[in-house]
Copies of this chain bind each other. A is one copy, B any other.
């Protein structure tokens, strides 16, 4: 009703003055070129329609394979985590099996098994050649038994390793998913595209798998999660998107799913931040944002190549990096060195922050360190690993 009521909008719980939302001076002063309605008014539950449309346009520009295919209008979420959390609430039932990558961002398991009591199992990201382990995923699917429904989380560029699929690997993966769906399993594939499209090698699949999955099989529902968070450097603005695709019998199913999604937004956060949406609308409407983020992409690609060069000349030792070719990070296997000890040492002795993912995995965000400082970062890392290694008893091997 809020949209039509132009005479007196006595609908929502918003205080108005002269028909416009009341806004404190100090709030308005901090965002001088936006109207009160763009700053403090409520956004619609599913998000600002202008932003949803802009995001859909951007999706098709970045994923030309999507053009002409049927999929939902992206729904605005309060960040990508919120999108994942709602996907778990809506599409994963209690005790459903869900496969997530190993290693994985820890929140997948916290949300799926902590919040939802789903049965989480892992598939290995890498095979022995340090490429994508499609056979490992096939085996993991096999081990989930014969229950009809199966959840699968795919995350490329992958957090924490920074690995993305080569085109050939993507083809193999899509084939596996088609076979699995064809065998009668109902697949819910959650695509966490947070770090899209930060790819740094020519051989990689440059489109989201979503473009391949939306019309793959009647038994497959693809849930695409992405956002301004990593792609447009809007981490703290908390704006993500949730887009659904599947070869479903008819378009009206999207309306029913949209209703479910809106209910999930309403009962979790009511709506995402209006001001953040307004900022992103301005960003995406500004034609310069494309060259600006092309430059950002190039800056990260340069850091990536620098890291590759540093690693190529690194001394032999306990640290071995896992394959990476995209995103913000790389991850080291720390061998006999305890990753948490290494992390703490780097922090305490050198004020260097890293993340210990397990006793033998350490994640390093090279996207947060300037080009010219990368040598010092990695030299310190290798030196401390060597020092700890020299003091570690052999039994840790």
**Residues of A bordering B, CB below 8 Å:** 1-2, 4-19, 21-27, 29-34, 39-43, 78-79, 81-82, 85, 89, 107, 110-111, 114-115, 159, 194-195, 230, 232-238, 263, 266-276, 279, 282-283, 286, 288-289, 292-293, 296, 299-300, 328-329, 343, 347, 350-355, 364-370, 373, 376-377
Contact = CB atoms under 8 A, between A and B. Distances in A.
Contacts of A343: 1
Which secondary structure characterizes the binding site on chain A? mixed
Contact of A353 (B11, B268, B293, B350): B11
Contacts of A355: 1, 11
B296 A15 contact: yes
A79 B269 contact: yes
Contacts of A232: 24
A347 B269 contact: no
A114 to B, nearest CB: 6
Nearest to A365: B10
Given A32-B32, A275-B276, A283-B27, A233 B352 contact: no
Nearest to A12: B365
A7 B351 contact: yes
Given A7-B351, A22-B233, A85-B269, A368 B27 contact: no
- 9 shortest A-B CB distances, which residue pairs? A5-B353, A236-B274, A11-B353, A7-B351, A81-B270, A16-B368, A15-B367, A10-B365, A273-B273
Contacts of A271: 79, 236, 238
Copies in the complex: 2
Given A16-B368, A78-B269, A350 B7 contact: yes
A21 B230 CA distance: 11
Nearest to A356: B1
A24 B365 contact: no
A345 B232 CA distance: 45
Contacts of A270: 79, 81-82, 107, 238
Nearest to A367: B15
A77 to B, nearest CB: 9
Contacts of A353: 1-2, 4-5, 8-12
B269 A81 contact: yes
B369 A78 contact: no
